[in-house]
Structures are given as structure tokens and as C-alpha cells.
Amino acid sequence: MKTLLKISPVAFLAFLLSCQPTTEKQTLFSLPENNEGPSLYAVPKSQMEADTQHFANVSREIFTKAFEGNPEMSKDLVPIRAFTIRSIDLLEVMGLPIDSLQLSSAIKYEHARIYLGLDSNNQFKLYLTPVVNAQLSETNPKGGQDVFLRGAFQGTTGEVQEGEYVMDFSAPCPKTCPEPEMP
């Protein structure tokens, strides 16, 4: 009987704890259960190179025409073709806990590069690739080197390919953005 009395409070406490309501973690979206297989948002490196070159050529033409007769603007103006950003800034924008030690140790590349492109149908493109050895300080900036992903990728063609690729995150505004507020 004494043993039963000793076990009963422990069992009762365990019962009470198991009856506590569980709160589900609030998230804006769910990650897919199975994240294996070829990437659906990838394009071959060669396509990215062609699209970014096309964007640079068109931009250069537009700037040349726009600045004709304006001696203050250089004819050697080179349009912006890419942005180098810190990976931690991308994670913060996505709402991930950047102060987490686990997250910090999971980051393989400190920087990423976002390239601007224009495909053969004159649709804007945005390509993303990791970068190593970049330094973004104002006093001694260094561009670093692109790291092209390698392996199987499917992309939007539906055909699985093998080789170097970049991520294609093209969902340009105005189609995917809210309307700006007018003053």
C-alpha cells in the first residue's frame, strides 16, 4: 500500500502534464516533407550567363540613349549586373533566428550573389548563387568568387539535367507584389 501511495502522486503529476494543451508553432508556410531530388528552381549556368549578358547589353544601350547630350554622364557607364549580399541578411529577412548558434554553424557560405538577367523573351530574371572570399567593407571591398552548384536539377523544363546550375528566383513585380500606395 505504501508503494502505491508513492507511485500515485508521480503518476497523477504525469497525467496532469500530459493533459496540458499543446500549442502549434505558428509559421507562414510549411517546408516540404521530402526535400530530396533535383531542384525545381534551377537553370544551367550557361543560361544564366547568356541572360545576364543580354541584360547588360540592353541596359548599356538604354543608358547610352538616355544620356546622349549629357556631358555629365560617362559613356563608359557600366550598368549594375549583380548584388553581393551577406547570407545572414537573407536569413534575417526570412525570419530565421540569426543569433542562434545552430544556425550560424549551419551556414556554409557567408555571401550570395544575385544576378540580374533578361531572357530571350525579354523577361526579367533574378539568379542566385553562393560566393566565397567576398568582403563587403567600404574600405577594402572584394567581390569574391561565385560558387556554382553542381548536381542534378530539373528546373522549369521538367527534364532532369546534370551539371553546374544557379537558382532562378524570378517572380518579378508588379505581378507578385502589392500595389504601391499612392500619395
Which CA distances in Å does 166 have to 27, 119, 125?
A: 27, 15, 12
Asked, for residue 173, whether it belongs to a domain, the answer is no
Asked, for residue 28, whether it belongs to a domain, the answer is no
pLDDT of residue 127: 94
Asked, for residue 52, whether it belongs to a domain, the answer is yes
Asked, for residue 180, whether it belongs to a domain, the answer is no
pLDDT of residue 75: 62
How confident is the chain (183 residues) per 10-residue block, as mean pLDDT? 46 39 44 57 92 92 80 70 90 77 75 94 92 90 92 81 88 76 74
Q: Are 133 and 118 in contact (CB under 8 A)?
A: no
Asked, for residue 36, whether it belongs to a domain, the answer is no
Q: How many domains does the chain have?
A: 1
Domain span including residue 62: 42-69+78-168
pLDDT of residue 11: 42
Asked, for residue 35, whether it belongs to a domain, the answer is no
CA angle 41, 42, 44 (to 5 degrees): 160
pLDDT of residue 27: 44
Asked, for residue 82, whether it belongs to a domain, the answer is yes
